[in-house]
Amino acid sequence: MNAKHDPKLIDFLQQELSIAPEAIALRRHQPASAQLPIMLWQYGLITLQQLDKIFDWREQVSSNGAGT
């Protein structure tokens, strides 16, 4: 799943985890294969607990068939 094409992930990061749009914009400077949640964690912009919450959310969205 590419965050560039996943507005639901971007909304989740901003609404649920209060991640600044500037932090999310960092993805533009990374190769397309870079995963946004991992990158945010590597830069210290989210905690390990927030990273886990993102993965839980992604799993829930995927299992509900709502993720694209």
Cβ atoms 18, 6 nearer than 8 A: no
* Size of the chain in residues: 68
Please report how many Cα atoms fall inside a 13 Å half-sphere around the Cα of residue 53, on the Cβ side: 13
Domain count, the chain: 1
Dihedral, CA of residue 12, residue 16, residue 20 and residue 21, to nearest 10:
20
Residue 66 — pLDDT band, cuts 50, 70, 90?
Answer: low
Looking at the domain assignment, is residue 57 inside a domain?
yes
pTM: 0.63
Task: Give a yes or no: residue 22 inside a domain.
Answer: no
Domain that holds residue 54: 1-9+34-63
Cα 20 to Cα 1: distance, rounded to the nearest angstrom: 21
Contact of 55 with 38, CB cutoff 8 Å = no
Inside any domain, residue 49: yes
Task: Give mean pLDDT, residues 26-41.
Answer: 68
